[in-house]
Amino acid sequence: MALLLVLAANARRLWRAFRNRRLAARPEKSPSLAATIWYERVTRMLARKGRPKSPAQTPAEFLTCIQDDALREPFAKFIQHYESARFGGSAEDAQRLPDLYEEVSNVASR
């Protein structure tokens, strides 16, 4: 009974996590939402690596704050595809985001 109460209390959060995982795995289903999910992931990852983004910064403004040239290039590609997927609804660009996320992550880990 306690388990059911905990599940019921967290149903919304669990559904959102399930939906986000599904959209992240298949970004072509909803490019705008998938782009938002991947952008949030990349900014969280960069914050963990010591490069936090201010809530007031646009993606382009955040990009200009990155001093590391090796990181700036893959992040600029990520931003370009993110904006095209998020604001243009491009399924092709949304599908590129997971790979671009990995590129940014690999460079940021060095």
pLDDT tens-digit profile, the chain (110 residues) = 787 777 778 778 777 777 777 877 888 888 999 999 999 999 999 999 999 999 999 999 999 999 999 999 999 999 999 999 999 999 999 999 999 999 999 999 88
Q: What is the predicted pLDDT for the residue at 1?
A: 78
C-alpha count within 13 angstroms, C-beta hemisphere, residue 70? 7
CA angle 107, 56, 65 (to 5 degrees): 35
What is the SS3 string spanning 28-60? HHCHHHHHHHHHHHHHHHHHHCCCCCCCCCCHH
pLDDT for residue 26: 83
What's residue 21's pLDDT?
79
Is-contact 75 104, C-beta < 8 A? yes
Which pLDDT score is estimated for 3? 79
Shortest CA distance to 23 belongs to which of 41, 11, 8, 7? 41
Q: For the chain, give every domain's residue range.
A: 2-108
Instruction: Please tell me the predicted confidence (pLDDT) of residue 104.
Output: 97
Q: Angle 52-39-48 (CA atoms, 0-180°, nearest 5)?
A: 30
Taking a C-beta distance cutoff of 8 angstroms, is the pair 85, 34 a contact? yes
What's the confidence (pLDDT) of residue 24?
A: 76
Q: Please state the pTM of the whole predicted model.
A: 0.81
